[in-house]
Structure 1
Amino acid sequence: MARHVLVIDAAQRGARVAVLDGERVVAERSGAPETGLADVLPVWIAECIGAAGIAAGDLGAIGVTVGPGSFTGLRASIAVAQGVGLAADVPVHGIAMGEAFSAAFPMLRRPLWVALTARRGRVFLERDGVAAGFDETDLPEPEGPIALAGEQAGAVAARLAARGFDVMLTDARACSATAMAAALRLHVAAGLPLRAAMPLYVDPPEARLPSGGLRPAPQ
């Protein structure tokens, strides 16, 4: 893999784009865009690639978080990543949120649970590579000591600690650019197949077909 990688994350409330040279972030943009992600992300990507002093075709890989997370954010960020990869002939790889957060704690000696925001007061928990949605009042019981990361980690840690479980709260709430790039490089170094850039949806979409079916197309 070439030294420079582009990473993109819009799985949660904010968004992040960065270009890294090895383990060093050379350009980064992040925030909560007021306009549509599909409009903002390409601008951020162009700015980061330009600030890094390279062309898009010089990238060795593009990594994009695939969830669990926001339907809208995942659709937009993955589509943009695939568009950039196709135009520049650069491979695009998916990064699960659990993989990225785990890469941020290579020396952790206990299982890491990643707690992320879901709809209707629920949380997504990614444990051992498997993601599921839970009500905050009906969280699963850990089988032993665990660590927690993610934007809902504080709330989940408080509930589990109140029930007497051994919980270590990490300081990682958002998915960092260095962690995303590290997850990408760890897979390559281990010779493991990289994840396809496809959304990791946990909940079904809220949209439903009308009970009477779709109306026929106008003649």
Structure 2
Amino acid sequence: MKVLLLFLLCGVACSSADPSRHDNDANLFTIRHEQHKKCLEYDNNQITMASCSAENEALLWKWVSNHRLFHLQSQMCLGINLTIPLDPLKMVPCNSDLMLWWRCHDGSIYGASQYKLTEKNGAVTASFSSNDEWRRDNTLENVCYHLYREIYTNRGNSAGKPCEFPFLRHGTWHHDCIKEANDTQEWCATTSNYDTDGKWGYCLKPGKCDSHSILPGFQYIKLFKVNVRADVALA
């Protein structure tokens, strides 16, 4: 029996994007140290801090799948190497076996085994004892205030599974849906390595915000419908 399944996908409130942001990606942000007023930087294979600027790719980060922090310029993820307790903070490929997840508590950012992101003598590392506070961009929001939200797919060959970001294709890590030159729809991989797995689907993204503000800086996202046909076997 053919059954028409109707999905109402409702986006949550969307924050107003910074028009100067690189690639016009509102999900990119800087990680600012509250006490020193400088931002987390990865450059020349070193994790340090530098003067904050949204135009400097070395300072731009993005939440991706599985609570990972993706660094735009290096296309790598921030991780914890538990086998090096004195210097555990590392930048590694996003498919690394290291612990790559991060959470926030108040202003602190912590990872595996409660290691917290901390500044020491101008360098950035991770330690158990840290009172460092980090903020998103030039705001008072903690870095986890706007976390990654899964993007589901249709068609393709992944049975509606969500996108996996970043995903590897032709040697490049992609942190958002992409579009082919001869296609009108954006797509993503649903595993971390499209080159080896070939799993993909078209991205189901919320529509643009309408003009009805509900709070300063926030707007509703309109509902939209997706029709999916499925075969249902009757018992």
TM-score normalised per structure 2: 0.24
Richer in helix (by share): 1
Richer in strand (by share): 2
Q: Radius of gyration: which is bigger?
A: 2
